[in-house]
Amino acid sequence: MLTEVKISNNLYDMKQKIDQIERELNDIVDSPEHLPELIDSSNLLRKNEFLVSTDQKKTELLSVYSAYSKSMELLLTSLFEIQNELKTVLKEQSSLILSSKPKSKPKSKPKSKPKSKPKSKPKSKPRK
């Protein structure tokens, strides 16, 4: 049980980290514009710095997503184990309930009585 709590806390922390990295990546997504007053090599350096920073963020994001998916797999495995344990417990309880009921003798059918004609009702006097 403690493991599941730890996994869910880790998932929450990783999800927060993923959101933070995505926000940071969105902040630096705008590629630097080519400034005509700078020489080409300066513009290339600026572009390279931009690409390096976005690449680092994307690598970090992939790393966190990988850890997140592994934690999700662990959580899912735990859920399947719990499901199987519950099925086993349910089967055991069902068999206990069935075995604890007293076995009743099969009831014989009552002998059929000869059918009699229904008694007729006395006729009532008509109302005035």
- pTM of the complete model: 0.52
Q: What is the pLDDT of residue 115?
A: 64
Per the structure, the count of domains in the chain is 1
CA atoms of 8 and 81, how far apart (whole Å): 16
77: phi then psi, degrees, rounded to nearest 5: -60, -45
Let me know if residue 117 belongs to a domain: no
Model confidence at 4: pLDDT above 60? no
Model confidence at 123: pLDDT above 70? no
Let me know if residue 86 belongs to a domain: no
Let me know if residue 125 belongs to a domain: no
Q: What is the pLDDT of residue 116?
A: 63
CA atoms of 47 and 66, how far apart (whole Å): 28
CA atoms of 128 and 119, how far apart (whole Å): 27
Assign 9 to helix, strand or coil.
helix
- Domain region containing 13: 1-27
Let me know if residue 14 belongs to a domain: yes
Let me know if residue 7 belongs to a domain: yes
Provide the token pair at 105: 């003798």
Model confidence at 91: pLDDT above 90? yes
Provide the token pair at 106: 């099969």
Let me know if residue 64 belongs to a domain: no
CA atoms of 21 and 24, how far apart (whole Å): 5
Model confidence at 54: pLDDT above 80? yes
Assign 79 to helix, strand or coil.
helix
CA gyration radius for the chain? 39
Q: What is the mean pLDDT of residues 29-44?
A: 73
Provide the token pair at 116: 């009699």
* pLDDT tens readout for residues 63-89: 999 999 998 998 899 999 999 999 999
Assign 116 to helix, strand or coil.
coil
Q: How many CB atoms lie within 10 A of CB 92?
A: 10
Q: What is the pLDDT of residue 84?
A: 94
